[in-house]
Amino acid sequence: MKRLIALTTFVLSLLGAGPAAAFYPWRNHVAPFPFLFGNDIDTHQQTQLKKDGSLSGYFYIHFTGIVTKDGYPVATHVDCNTGTCTVGWTLEGEPGTAAFLYQVDDDHPMFLVSRADIPQPGAYAHFHWLSSMPVAEVAASGYLLQLTAVDTFCFIHHGAAGAQTSKTCGENGGIAVNRGIDIATHLNIVPSFP
């Protein structure tokens, strides 16, 4: 499967299509990617639950049309049922539990995960819960996610509409994403807490 995706990406790049075009288009969770977390992440993810209990799928972004001073096209999450989305990352997930700790403003909620429970090998840096937001300091079921960017972009989680072409990605409050493993954009786990 990975060879097929790589070959498709290569062929499409020869035809002038961007690398994300080779990936699965948004189809609102129809088979073979019907898995739902039961919360807001479902508006921009499509995954499948594999036989071993893990997840595999795609995490979507919307390009705003703005390009930063340092050359990154600005992207954000939107409800893909109402906006135009493309794959920003491939997503791998392993089942796990974590305790909600706190949330600062619009940043991702932070979770406590035992260091021994972080899947290896890999770069599982995001915990996402099932159903409603967990209660503070109570273990919740969900998935530890590893994201691999398939394109280059400036990811602004909130406030992308205010991005300016006269500013760099960082000056716009974004994170410069390059193809490959990404732990910065959605990092929300810690292995210890006072």
- The pLDDT tens digits for 120-167 are 999 999 999 999 999 998 999 999 999 999 999 999 999 999 999 999
Helix (H, G, I), strand (E, B) or coil at 45: strand
* Side-chain half-sphere CA neighbours of 142 within 13 A: 28
**What is the CA angle 69-75-78, rounded to 5?**
150
**Strand, helix or coil for residue 37:** coil
Chain center to CA of 187: 10
177: tokens are: 């994403």
Q: Which residues contact 169 (CB under 8 A, 6 or more apart)?
A: 68, 70, 72, 74, 154, 175, 176
> Residue 124: phi, psi to the nearest 5?
-80, 100
- Over residues 92-107, the pLDDT tens digits come to 999 999 999 999 998 9
